[in-house]
């Protein structure tokens, strides 16, 4: 009889202790479709316990000096870095992404998030103005908000969770975090390092479970004055409704329908590999991924031929395969949703140039039930199609020709989202002009995803509210007070 492997059992982390839960949710390995882990299905009770712990820890932690908090954050970064390989293996197994990407992007960036905010907290200054004619001076002071509720998604699990935890802690808040129920493992591993790093009990509490149960309990709790959320637009709407009666501070980092605009003078040798990567990195499961490619008519045929050739070389493989560029999608339901967009495009008369339904996917026998899909390029599609309007969040991108600068700006802006755009041209004037006119929180020109953590990150329109980054995260995770002194 074949031995059954024990499932990995996660526990909540509240008040510095691992605590079991009454019920659990199955968590799947996306590369095999098998259950391999069980995640606590927490609810109101666990949130109450976490709030109590975070409330008790707040006076102590918020009175530490920035230097003392920075020391703890740096130590946490060191410990994460020492566990890089173990964390990368876990992230890849839990999420489906390639091990190579987890090793080179997810975990290094998680380390960097702690180091970055550990350093930046030492350099904030406050404002002061004078009114000499009235014998007054005015200055501002900032204080941490209190208990920060942090809700993160499944696509970049530890990367995006730490992008919220680090600035919240650095500013002196205590934290209750709820990672996605689909990818909870690396957050649980992080909990094991907190005590070693010197994080006092109750400063960071991580409560696992689903959005509707534990997520809503966190968002609705009257003692949690601030919610930072990354995820989908419909969930953001629900969070906004639940927060409204309490006037909570909200940071919402949501989806995109990101255009790449490729002018005839673009350097295609650089643009094509970068646009393959921006379309299909992490299985297309990054809110910044390109999903509409506008190409100037005079180079359309050449671009398309070369882009499809390069896409066919973007290998789909098991996450541990070092030659694979792409692993498995997050879940069966998500795979079906992404595939349904390709079917819809076909039914509208579009052409599938490569990928889904056109090419064959080769996988080992044990991965046949995994959630894999080939990178897919769609052409001959109308701007009004749902494939050109809705966030697909998978390895599907649409390519379409354009004539003029004015036309392409109008078409690129003609969606409800406004997160990230790329512009490819060697004309400096044009690059500045177009970047300014795009309704997009981020514009990368002649590159993609070069991140400057100092500067604001976030979207316009339905892509969210607020920005993250040094100044913006500090402002968000603190309350400001203006004090006037008459002398």
Ligand X SMILES: N/C(=C\C=C\C(=O)O)C(=O)O
Ligand Y SMILES: NC(=O)C1=CN([C@@H]2O[C@H](COP(=O)(O)OP(=O)(O)OC[C@H]3O[C@@H](n4cnc5c(N)ncnc54)[C@H](O)[C@@H]3O)[C@@H](O)[C@H]2O)C=CC1
Distance from C-alpha of 328 to C-alpha of 319, rounded to nearest angstrom: 7
**Single residue of 61, 341, 371, 457 touching ligand X by CB under 6 A:** 457
Residue whose structure tokens are 């064959």: 360
Q: Does 87 bind ligand X (CB under 6 A)?
A: no
Q: Select the binding partner of residue 156 from ligand Y, ligand X, none (C-beta < 5 to 8 A, by kind).
A: ligand X
Q: Which of residues 230-249 bind ligand X (CB under 6 A)?
A: 230
Q: Is 20 in the site for ligand Y (CB under 6 A)?
A: no
Judge whether 150 and 168 are in contact, CB under 8 Å: yes
- Contact with ligand X (CB under 6 A) among 160, 169, 193, 408: 160
112 binds ligand X (CB under 6 A): no
By CB under 6 A, tell whether 219 contacts ligand Y: yes
Q: Does 94 bind ligand X (CB under 6 A)?
A: no
Structure tokens at 329: 């999608």
55 CB-contact burial (10 Å; exposed 0-12 / middle 13-18 / buried 19+): middle
CB-based contacts of 90: which residues, under 8 Å, 6+ apart? 185, 186, 189
Known catalytic residue: 391?
A: no
Output the CA torsion sign for 328, 330, 336, 340. Answer: negative
Applying CB under 6 A, does 466 fall inside the site for ligand Y? no
- x/- mask, ligand Y, residues 248-267, rule CB under 6 A, reads -----xxx------------
Identify the active-site residue in 253, 285, 391, 468: 253
> Which position among 46, 106, 181, 253 is part of the footprint of ligand X (CB under 6 A)?
253
156 binds ligand X (CB under 6 A): yes
CB-count exposure of residue 264 (10 Å: 0-12, 13-18, 19+): middle
Long-range contacts of 465-469 (CB under 8 A, 24+ apart): 465/250, 465/251, 465/252, 466/250, 466/251, 466/252, 466/253, 467/441, 468/163, 468/164, 468/167, 468/228, 468/251, 468/253
- Contact pattern for ligand X over residues 261 through 300, marking x by CB under 6 A: -------------------------xxx------------
Pick one of ligand Y, ligand X, none as the site partner of residue 238 (Cβ within 5 to 8 A by kind).
Answer: ligand Y
What is the signed CA dihedral for 163, 169, 173, 176, rounded to 10 degrees? 60
Does the protein bind ligand Y through residue 154 (CB under 6 A)? Answer: yes
Q: Give dist(CA 422, CA 146) in Å, integer.
A: 38
When CB distances are held under 5 to 8 angstroms depending on the partner's kind, the choice from ligand X, ligand Y, none that residue 457 binds is ligand X
Of the two residues 391 and 468, which places its CB atom closer to ligand Y in the complex?
391
Binding of ligand Y by 40 (CB under 6 A): no
Q: Which residues bind ligand X (CB under 6 A)?
A: 153, 155-156, 160, 163, 230, 253, 286-288, 451, 457
Catalytic residue set: 253
């Amino acid at each position: 009889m074949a031995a059954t492997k024990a499932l990995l059992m996660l526990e909540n982390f509240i008040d510095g202790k691992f605590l079991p839960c009454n019920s659990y949710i199955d968590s799947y390995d996306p590369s095999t479709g098998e259950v391999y882990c069980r995640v606590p299905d927490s609810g109101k009770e666990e949130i109450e316990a976490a709030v109590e712990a975070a409330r008790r820890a707040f006076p102590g932690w918020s009175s530490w000096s920035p230097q003392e908090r920075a020391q703890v954050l740096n130590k946490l970064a060191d410990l994460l870095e020492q566990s890089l390989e173990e964390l990368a293996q876990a992230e890849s197994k839990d999420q489906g992404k390639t091990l190579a990407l987890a090793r080179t992007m997810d975990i290094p960036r998680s380390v960097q998030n702690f180091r970055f905010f550990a350093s930046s907290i030492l350099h904030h200054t406050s404002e002061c103005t004078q009114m000499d004619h009235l014998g007054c001076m005015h200055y501002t002071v900032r204080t941490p908000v209190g208990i920060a509720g942090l809700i993160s998604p499944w696509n970049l699990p530890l990367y995006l969770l730490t992008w919220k935890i680090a600035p919240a802690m650095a500013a002196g808040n205590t934290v209750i975090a709820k990672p996605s129920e689909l990818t909870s493992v690396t957050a649980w591993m992080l909990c094991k390092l907190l005590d070693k790093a010197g994080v006092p009990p109750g400063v960071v509490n991580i409560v696992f479970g689903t959005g509707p149960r534990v997520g809503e309990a966190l968002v609705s709790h009257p003692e949690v004055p601030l919610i930072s959320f990354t995820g989908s637009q419909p969930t953001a709407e629900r969070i906004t409704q639940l927060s409204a009666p309490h006037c909570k501070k909200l940071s919402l980092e949501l989806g995109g329908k990101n255009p790449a605009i490729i002018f005839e003078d673009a350097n295609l040798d650089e643009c094509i590999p970068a646009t393959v990567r921006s379309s299909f990195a992490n299985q297309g499961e990054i809110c910044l991924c390109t999903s509409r490619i506008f190409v100037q008519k005079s180079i359309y045929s050449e671009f398309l031929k070369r882009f499809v050739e390069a896409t066919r070389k973007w290998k789909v493989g098991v996450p541990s395969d070092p030659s694979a560029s792409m692993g498995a999608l997050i879940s069966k339901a998500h795979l079906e949703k992404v595939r349904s967009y390709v079917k819809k495009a076909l039914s509208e008369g579009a052409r599938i140039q490569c990928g889904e339904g056109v090419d064959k996917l080769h996988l080992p026998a044990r991965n046949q039930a995994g959630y894999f899909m080939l990178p897919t390029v769609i052409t001959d599609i109308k701007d009004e199609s749902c494939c050109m309007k809705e966030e697909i969040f998978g390895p599907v991108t649409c390519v379409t020709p354009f004539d003029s600068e004015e036309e392409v700006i109008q078409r690129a802006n003609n969606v409800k989202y406004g997160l990230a755009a790329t512009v490819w041209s060697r004309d400096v004037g044009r690059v500045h002009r177009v970047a300014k006119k795009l309704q997009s929180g981020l514009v990368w020109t002649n590159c993609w995803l070069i991140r400057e953590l100092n500067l604001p990150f976030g979207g316009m329109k339905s892509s969210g509210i607020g920005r993250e980054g040094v100044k913006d995260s500090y402002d968000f995770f603190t309350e400001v007070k203006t004090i006037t002194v008459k002398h």
